[in-house]
Chains A and B, each alone.
Chain A
């Protein structure tokens, strides 16, 4: 296994009487596109703020690149680029000036070409010298990515990077993340509400709720192990339903719609159920399994 880039152990944060993060632990490995999922108020942003030392943990520790952020903050932060919630800039300065300033604070002295290169990567080269206050939300979001990349960090932490973007903008950001991961070998820590987005680009993920880890692992493996939503189209739905009730192949089902039965079951039971239908004279015209992170996420949230 690759080296651990982020290692969080028993992290907690209490705001007065509210326990926002409660003993959270997770590991992110080099090269991961790590999905950080959870419902609203689960503690995602609080965790990210602690990782970036914007707020201080009540308990627990955070190691990045194998070192504690308490004792090696500057060394670690040279290699982190981040967007925390919505990207905000100095509106009275141009995109170019903003990047120039942030590059200098990141201990590099970016030359003009480097800044233009980054602006081109995010599609803002033409607006390099426009004041940021004239930018749309989508443009600020792209500039947010640019500022996270200006010092060529190894780890990029993105908190809801596609919030407020139109589908085209979301796709562009998604493609950029994939490019950064695959072509530039960056480790990406991606917090998102948009489960489909995480499903498309994340390699590993953690789902948290009420400040605790619910599940962590490889996205594909977790989804494979999860129960699928399967649509069976059958010739005799009533007979099929009685057979389903007599057996334990199906965990749950939606109200049937005509000849379509929506069933929730594990992968290995699909063939068995199909055979049962056929042996009992029910014609099965189609079986459509859908594997979705959304279904998985919702089922986990239901359990927790």
Chain B
């Protein structure tokens, strides 16, 4: 039954035009970034490496699909939560707004089955969006710019050999997907509380912005709080591009993000199982 319900939820999600806003936005943004870099050509690489050119001599094709994908991932990941909440925030509240809760709950299925199917469908959508970002940035990037070594400039300069890159992207997109799953769980929780789909979208974004601001404030209390906020790990995908990879930091990120998903989802189940449907 769960499979049937999940199929129905996915069918409903992909029959709504708002579902495609995320995909279209990602496609347009990534295309714009890639085409503009293609036009700018070596100017882009020069601007990235200008401080280093007096010290180092760069040899090889650094302006390649991998660099483009890395840049795109950094630029877009922080904005994906908004695209996710457009769909995840509507999963439950949308039924309340439309009045269709009544038809769902008066069928021979349990509330937990309905909830689980919606959550799975929401998670599938989230990971499809992240995968679509990977396809657009990495796939199109490689098609347009070819492959080569990846240069990552942070506190230190790291150049990854061509055969040492793909698994790092896989890891990066994996952790990015997990952090987006927390966003989905949060939007899902808010969606179970209200009867208007706009509320969960605004609330989720408010929590993310609030947490990011708290993390940035240089006060001891907030700094101690920082490791427990999921927003701290939203950029953990960068860990995949350190050398050697700090797997301990990775596991911590996975544990905290997964913990958030469990707690948020648990709360949603508790609230929904007790909820009177008055819509």
Q: Which positions in A face B, CB cutoff 8 Å?
A: 49, 52-56, 73-78, 80, 82, 84-93, 97, 101-102, 104-107, 147
Contacts and interface: CB of A to CB of B under 8 A. Distances in A.
B98 A91 contact: yes
B106 A74 contact: no
A130 to B, nearest CB: 15
A82 B11 CA distance: 24
Given A49-B277, A55-B278, A104 B4 contact: yes
B135 interface: no
Interface in B104-118: 104-110
Contacts of A90: 12, 15, 98, 100
Contact of B274 (A56, A77, A105): A56
A93 B277 contact: no
13 contacts: A55-B278, A56-B274, A74-B109, A74-B110, A75-B108, A82-B106, A88-B98, A89-B100, A92-B15, A92-B17, A105-B8, A105-B104, A106-B108
A84 B102 contact: yes
Interface in B80-104: 98-104
Contacts of A107: 1, 108
Contact of A54 (B4, B98, B109, B277): B277
B16 interface: yes
A54 B102 contact: yes
A129 B219 CA distance: 60
Contacts of B100: 88-90
B8 A74 contact: no
B163 interface: no
Given A49-B277, A88-B99, A105-B8, A77 B106 contact: yes
Given A85-B102, A104-B8, A55 B108 contact: no
In the A-B complex, the 4 residue pairs with the closest CB atoms: A88-B99, A55-B276, A77-B108, A54-B277
Nearest to A50: B276
B38 interface: no
Given A90-B100, A91-B98, A93-B15, A55 B107 contact: no
Contacts, number: 76
A233 B102 CA distance: 53
A303 B120 CA distance: 55
Nearest to A98: B103
Choose among A55, A85, A88, A97 the residue with the greatest number of B CB atoms under 10 Å from its CB: A88
B208 interface: no
B107 A105 contact: yes
Contacts of B107: 77, 102, 105-106
B275 to A, nearest CB: 9
Contacts of A56: 274, 276
Contacts of B5: 105
Contact of A74 (B17, B102, B108, B274): B108
B102 A88 contact: yes
Nearest to A159: B102
Nearest to A75: B108
A52 B104 contact: no
Interface in B243-279: 274, 276-278
A86 B99 contact: yes
Given A86-B99, A90-B100, A91-B98, A52 B106 contact: yes
Contacts of A54: 101-102, 105-106, 276-278
A52 B277 CA distance: 10
Contacts of A82: 106
A74 B107 CA distance: 8
A85 B12 CA distance: 23
Interface in B1-30: 1, 4-5, 8, 11-12, 15-17
Contacts of B99: 86, 88
B106 A101 contact: no
B274 to A, nearest CB: 7
Interface string B188-221: 0000000000000000000000000000000000
